[in-house]
Structure 1
Amino acid sequence: MRSAAWTIRPAAPYLEGMSTGSDILIVGGGLTGPVLALAARQAGLRPVLIDAQPPAVQEAPGFDGRAYALAAASVRMLRRLGIWQALEGGAQPMVEIKVSDGRAGEGAAPLYLLFDSSEVEDLAGPSGWMVEDRHLRPALSAALEAAGIPRHAPQTVTAQEVRAGRASVTLASGTSLDGALIVGCDGRRSGTATRAGITRGGWDYEQTAIVCAVRHERPHEGVAHQFFMPGGPLAILPLQGNRSSIVWSEHRPRAEALLAMDDATFLDALRPAFGSFLGEISLEGDRFGYPLGLSLADSFAAPRVALVGDAAHGLHPIAGQGLNAGLRDVAALAAVLEEARRRGEDIGALPVLERYARWRRSDTAMLAGTTDLTNRLFSNDNALLRGLRDLGLGAVSSLPPLRRALIREAAGISGDLPPLMR
């Protein structure tokens, strides 16, 4: 398989309202959809992107508090796709990750786990980077335009059909698009999956993640913090300047009350959990609430249909791996489709798509199990469990080989990596 040597080829002409001869119909224009379109284009395929959001919404320049933790492997892929060059100047490296346990207002337990990226020689840099939403979406939009990838926005899919040798979708505008393959990048309530008859299982955590950003007096030095509390974990993730992204998971009634507070009252509630180590804090941007649950599609593929990202799996944000898992899906699917194209195979044939599904299913199931177990182990105030997990953090911290293995896992550079991430 090729990887870094791929080049972007001009897309075929595209006319709104007409059926196309595209290879891949990508439903969902959030984050994984555009990246898949670029990866497919680089692999010599002809993608079309269908986005429910207007371009102006996707490309809004203002900071709204949202940011993403991109693992080193994800950054490798974005670099090879020509996107990272536009992001690097505004991205913040995470050089260390500190994991601790405790209660709001009481501080962290004395035993904690510290991941230092410099311990892993073949990482050659940070284990991850923080990228703000206001930078990532416009960069993806500009890359789509530069690659000449057709985009229907704002448009939704109202119907899809699979027949011998082809698949098609009908848009709300009445436009009909056809291709060899439909890829659902349309989230946990994926219409693509529903129309294909793919069901999903899982459960609700009865938690909500509050996402926002704060400005603080002291520099964070590129250190990310994961502080486990009885109601759920608080992630403090460094942004450029004296700013940090907050992902605060709490029991749902408490989270709803926090979201309903005015800014001053919310900050008063956040300070005991956040601590004083970065000095005084103030809010930047908006607050967002995301109900948390675990969900896995029963299959990642069906005849002429593949699922990617949240359409295939919804994970707890406890390890910040949700988007990274989706990008790994993208890299794996692009590799499978590129190899199938070179072999002269039908890229939408079920045996081809099952290769992708097998590749990603076990890795995703393991990640889902790990995040689920960690959340259940740490999101409680059981005295016995608290003692055991604190001892466990201390034990892992004192075992360099295990610690380095966990750093590699967090950086996304372990396991069977797709070419774009090697």
Structure 2
Amino acid sequence: MYRRITSTVKVNVPRLRRLLSTPVPRDDMYDVVIVGGGVAGLGLGAALKSSPVTSRLRIALVEGMDLGSSKTWGPTKESYSNRVVSLTPASVKLLKEIGAWDHIKQERTQPFDDMQVWDGLTGARIEFKTGALSQQYPSIATIVETLNIQHALLNRIDELGGVDIIDKTKVVKIGHGEETGDLDFSTWPQLELSNGRKLTARLLIGADGANSPVRSFTKIESRGWDYDRHGVVATLKIETGRPVVAWQRFLPTGPIAMLPLPNGYATLVWTTTPALAAKLKAMSHADFAALVNAGFRLSDVDLRYLYEAGAKEGEVKEQCEWRESVVKADKREFLPPRVVEIQEGSRASFPLKMRHADSYCDERIALVGDAAHTTHPLAGQGLNQGLADVQSLFKSLESAVTHGQDVGSIHALEPYAHERYFENHVTLGAIDKLHKLYSVSSGPLVTARSWGLEVVNELDGLKTLFMKRVCGLERR
């Protein structure tokens, strides 16, 4: 009798493994359901379908917005979206590996190999150049519109096939499946959609943003704080004939950054107080352009006067130009090109916060991107962290399928959580401390940070390590 049982176990265990790691057959049941049609969600769908190991998994992606316009996106070169990201070499490498980079509209991307960063109070400066990286990486980063990445991923998914994209549809409720005959799906997440459908998932992926319904369903807490700062973004027309450089100046209210785009355009990300953000959005294009130029050139005293004195409409430009005319002209070669025009309708703002989920996974649940973590934009790491999550989770699922594991089991997901949680925790902490360090406007800390910045600028080895870390080259 014992031999018969043992023999049965030996035969059935491999069959059970195959059952757990192969696609489910019913129309309303999927191996993987991804909630969220942003870069992280689409990236994971494309990655899974691009691999021969995971391509047979049955996948659905649910998104509340219309993805059709992103798929057929056809912009003109006279305008750029204000939703722009700085892709690290590691993120570009991932998009190439899954075949999405071939679908990027390359004429709308702008790589840069020089970044100038300086303290707005003391003028202490650090310069990053790609010479510190290997010849394999000719750029520090590549500026790309988020729409361009979504467009590329949607077209790559369409090329690969096998992902059921359910857009213009919201998740109404998340619960659990039921027992049906000999099969027990009571541990599988079940989604009720606004179109009346019900989807049951072996694995549910939350790529649904900072207010993630998937994370709420798992009861995983997300902890952090608001910065009482807003990020003001805009698309700028700038002087041409200057080298392609990214510029960032740390002001006491927050950093102001100008990132290059093709055809004489640039994108602005200005972190400041909510009150000033409201003023920046409300003022005329001419005054706004003048204040952006002043933000890179005038002293904190001058800027505070312009912020607080409340110059009348049209006088901001006049005040800025007069104050710039009396500023010493030293180091002008280190200043960014002047803004000559603001693209209509491109100004917007959003509140800044830091959040980190207590865990990235639970049984049959995984969180990626903003659903797992959000950070201050000063280092341009948010979307890059999300793509690193995608790569790590994809590799974990690929390994699970290879070894006959259930892709929704906690054992299959733990390698992803183990790899990414600590990595993101370190990055979030470093960015948070950098924000707080440069928010100080007086005292010995200002002198100490300026001295430290100039010392690091002279230590090529240390600067190289920092660049590799930010560019994601250490972990790949």
TM-score, normalised via structure 1 length: 0.89
User: Are the equivalent residues in 1 in contact too, given 2:49–2:157 (CA < 8 A)?
Assistant: no
Residue type matched to 1:94 in 2?
F
- Residue 342 of structure 2 corresponds to residue 283 of structure 1: yes
Give me the whole-angstrom Cα distance separating, in 1, the residues matched to 2:30 and 2:197: 14
User: What's the offset of the Cα at 1:57?
Assistant: 4.5
Name which of 148, 153, 162 aligns with 2:167.
153
Give me the whole-angstrom Cα distance separating, in 2, the residues matched to 1:220 and 1:161: 56
Residue pairs, 1:46-65, within 5 angstroms: 46-59=58-71, 60-62=73-75, 63-65=80-82
Name which of 96, 99, 110 aligns with 1:92.
110
Segment drifting more, 224-233 vs 327-336: 224-233
Give SS of 1:393's match. Answer: helix
Give SS of 1:22's match. Answer: strand
Match of 1:213 in 2: 235
Ranges of 4+ aligned residues in structure 1 off by more than 6 Å: none
* Percent identity over paired residues: 30
Residue type matched to 1:279 in 2?
R
- Output one character per residue of 1:10-54: Cα deviation in whole Å (capped at 9) or x when no partner: xx999xxx9433211000001111011001112323321111111
Give SS of 1:325's match. Answer: helix
Segment drifting more, 159-168 vs 137-146: 159-168
Give me the whole-angstrom Cα distance separating, in 2, the residues matched to 1:81 and 1:197: 32
Give me the whole-angstrom Cα distance separating, in 1, the residues matched to 2:167 and 2:242: 39
Name which of 336, 340, 355 aligns with 1:295.
355
User: What's the offset of the Cα at 1:241?
Assistant: 2.2
User: Are the equivalent residues in 1 in contact too, given 2:37–2:67 (CA < 8 A)?
Assistant: no
User: Are the equivalent residues in 2 in contact too, given 1:83–1:143 (CA < 8 A)?
Assistant: yes
Give me the whole-angstrom Cα distance separating, in 2, the residues matched to 1:254 and 1:380: 18
User: Are the equivalent residues in 2 in contact too, given 1:19–1:175 (CA < 8 A)?
Assistant: no
Give SS of 1:23's match. Answer: strand
- Residue 86 of structure 2 corresponds to residue 26 of structure 1: no
- Residue 468 of structure 2 corresponds to residue 408 of structure 1: yes
CA shift in 2, pair 1:243/1:219, >3 Å: farther
Give SS of 1:180's match. Answer: strand
Match of 1:144 in 2: 157
Residue pairs, 1:7-406, within 5 angstroms: 19-43=27-51, 44=54, 45-59=57-71, 60-62=73-75, 63-87=80-104, 88-102=106-120, 109-121=122-134, 123-148=136-161, 149-162=163-176, 163-164=185-186, 166-275=188-297, 277-285=336-344, 286-406=346-466
CA shift in 2, pair 1:289/1:279, >3 Å: closer
Give me the whole-angstrom Cα distance separating, in 1, the residues matched to 2:242 and 2:147: 21
User: What's the offset of the Cα at 1:161?
Assistant: 2.6
User: What's the offset of the Cα at 1:271?
Assistant: 2.0
Give SS of 1:188's match. Answer: coil
Over aligned residue pairs, what C-alpha RMSD do you find?
2.0
Greater Rg by CA:
2
User: Are the equivalent residues in 2 in contact too, given 1:159–1:169 (CA < 8 A)?
Assistant: yes
User: What's the offset of the Cα at 1:368?
Assistant: 0.5
Give me the whole-angstrom Cα distance separating, in 2, the residues matched to 1:207 and 1:302: 33
Give me the whole-angstrom Cα distance separating, in 2, the residues matched to 1:156 and 1:238: 36
Residue type matched to 2:114 in 1?
E
- Output one character per residue of 1:212-246: Cα deviation in whole Å (capped at 9) or x when no partner: 12111134522111210011011111111221111
Segment drifting more, 71-80 vs 168-177: 168-177
User: What's the offset of the Cα at 1:339?
Assistant: 0.2
> Unpaired runs of 5+ in structure 2?
1-22, 177-184, 298-334
User: Are the equivalent residues in 1 in contact too, given 2:88–2:140 (CA < 8 A)?
Assistant: yes
Residue type matched to 1:42 in 2?
S
CA shift in 2, pair 1:61/1:299, >3 Å: same
CA shift in 2, pair 1:239/1:348, >3 Å: same
- Output one character per residue of 1:40-97: Cα deviation in whole Å (capped at 9) or x when no partner: 1123233211111112443444433221100000000001111112223431112011
Give SS of 2:156's match. Answer: helix
Give SS of 1:121's match. Answer: coil
- Output one character per residue of 1:195-220: Cα deviation in whole Å (capped at 9) or x when no partner: 11111100010000011121111345
CA shift in 2, pair 1:354/1:13, >3 Å: closer
Give me the whole-angstrom Cα distance separating, in 2, the residues matched to 1:291 and 1:202: 14
> Unpaired runs of 5+ in structure 1?
1-11, 104-108, 418-422
- Output one character per residue of 1:131-190: Cα deviation in whole Å (capped at 9) or x when no partner: 123422222221222122210011111122344463321111111112210000011000
Give SS of 1:98's match. Answer: strand
Give me the whole-angstrom Cα distance separating, in 2, the residues matched to 1:389 and 1:136: 36
Give me the whole-angstrom Cα distance separating, in 1, the residues matched to 2:50 and 2:154: 16
Residue type matched to 1:48 in 2?
A
Give me the whole-angstrom Cα distance separating, in 2, the residues matched to 1:22 and 1:202: 34
